[in-house]
Amino acid sequence: MKSLFGRDLITTQEWSVDELERTLALAFEFKARRFDHPLRDCLDRRTFMMFFFNPSVRTRQSFECAATELGGHAQFLEPKTMRLKTETSAGETVQDAANVMSRYACGIGIRTLETAVDRYGEGDDLLREYAKWASVPVISMAHDKFHPCQGLADVMGMRMHGGKNLKRKKLLQVWGKGALVRSWCSVQESILINTRLGLDVTLAYPEGYDLDPQVTKWCEDNAAASGGRFEIVHDLEEGYKGADFVYSRNWQSPAFYGDMKKVGADAAKKKEIEMAARYDDWICSREWMSRTNNAFFMHCGPVDRGAEVTDEVCDGPRSIVYDIAENRLHVQKAIMALTMART
């Protein structure tokens, strides 16, 4: 079996299903043997560089814990404190920065979301530019298009509670109202990986909240290849009916990037929040969950309680949000061990 050593991970769509399954299998091993796994020192004295263009809670925590538990070190970096070249300032180019960091580190992680870029896809371009010049793996820690670590953690959580064979199980990926303006990355990664693994994925949202058309086309192709189904609906009754997993998450409208460029990030966010407030029914509640197949509730966090989901559902017996949050640690250990360890 071909080694994953040195591979970048920018989206799960670019890894084969076998490679994703290897990663998930190792993540389950790390969960079962957290501190005494044979690979517990596979990053001994090695450093993983973490570029945070946007802040985080669980991403920084989980990657730092992952590196430590593999015997290595994760170094937190904020680009604004570094002399990097931008459109308005002189400094080190991506080519130079990537080459230099490759001499220091065993891998580079980058987190850059919608408020750190001027247009959709710019974050993805940045990761690919670093990957072009770096001689060590570049890992997306969430960017404007994709969040591969979250997608794998979601699948791990679903398998913990629904069994390893989830083919033809129904995942409802549903838009939720909210006061937080959310990126597309976690949602797009979820529908991509789950259509590849043979689930029936229903994407439900109000008119006007379309995702990247290239991503939805990939989902259609994934479902055709895996024997699953992918559909887009704008009706909550149809979406919730028969669902085995419900993932309620707010995401921004396609107009957000243009608005941000015209009026600034704060005004664009305010407009999005005002738009979202119109959709009172689009909250995951006990009533909507009663229409499912006794579904598990999922979320990547942080949860916008009282907007995306009620406390009753989020804290209920069918909620797996904390298991998924924990899984980020195990999945990222697996990714780092497979791509960065020479063992």
Average pLDDT over residues 33-44: 97
171 and 78, same structural domain? no
Place of tokens 């230099």: 100
Q: What is the pLDDT of residue 80?
A: 85
Confidence class for position 86, pLDDT limits 50, 70, 90: confident
Same domain, 321 and 190: yes
Same domain, 157 and 286: yes
Give the three-class secondary structure for 297.
Answer: strand
Find out whether 323 and 160 touch, Cβ atoms under 8 Å.
yes
Same domain, 334 and 280: no
Cα torsion 146, 191, 274, 303 to 10°: value is -80
Percent of residues in the chain assigned helix, strand, coil, to nearest 5: 45, 15, 40
Same domain, yes or no: 220 and 132: no
Q: Enter the pTM of the model.
A: 0.97
Confidence of residue 85 (pLDDT cuts 50, 70, 90): confident
Residue 200 lies in a domain: yes
- Asked if 237 and 253 sit in the same domain, the reply is yes
Evaluate whether residue 41 is within a structural domain: yes
| In the predicted structure, residue 265 carries a pLDDT above the cut 90 | no
- Residue 263 lies in domain: 150-325
Element (H, E) at 139: strand 138-143
Q: Distance between CA atoms of 77 and 311, rounded to whole angstroms?
A: 35
pLDDT per residue as tens digits for the range 204-258 = 999 999 999 999 999 999 999 999 999 999 999 999 999 999 999 999 999 998 9
CATH of the domain at 141: 3.40.50.1370
Mean pLDDT of 174-183: 92
| 268 occurs within a structural domain | yes
Q: Are residues 141 and 89 in the same domain?
A: yes
Locate tokens 């371009």: which residue? 125
pLDDT of residue 57: 83
87 pLDDT above the threshold of 80: no
Identify whether the C-beta of residue 183 lies closer than 8 Å to the C-beta of residue 115. Answer: no
- Percent above pLDDT 70 for the chain: 99
Is the pLDDT at 269 greater than 80? The verdict is yes
Average pLDDT over residues 298-310: 96
Say if residue 160 is in the same domain as residue 306.
yes
Residues 320 and 175 in one domain: yes
Residue 103 — left, alpha, or beta (φ > 0 → left; ψ -120 to 50 → alpha)? alpha
pLDDT at 89 over 80: no
Residue 3 lies in a domain: no
* Residue 188 shares a structural domain with residue 314: yes
Average pLDDT over residues 97-124: 95
In a domain, 231, yes or no: yes
Phi, psi of 77 (to 5 degrees): -130, 135
| Structure confidence at residue 223 (pLDDT) | 98
268: how many CB neighbours lie within 10 A of its CB?
23
Are residues 228 and 302 located together in one domain of the fold? yes
Give the distance between the most distant pair of CA atoms in the chain: 57
Assess whether 116 and 235 both reside in one domain.
no
Query: How many domains does one find in the chain?
Result: 2
pLDDT average, residue stretch 47-69 = 96
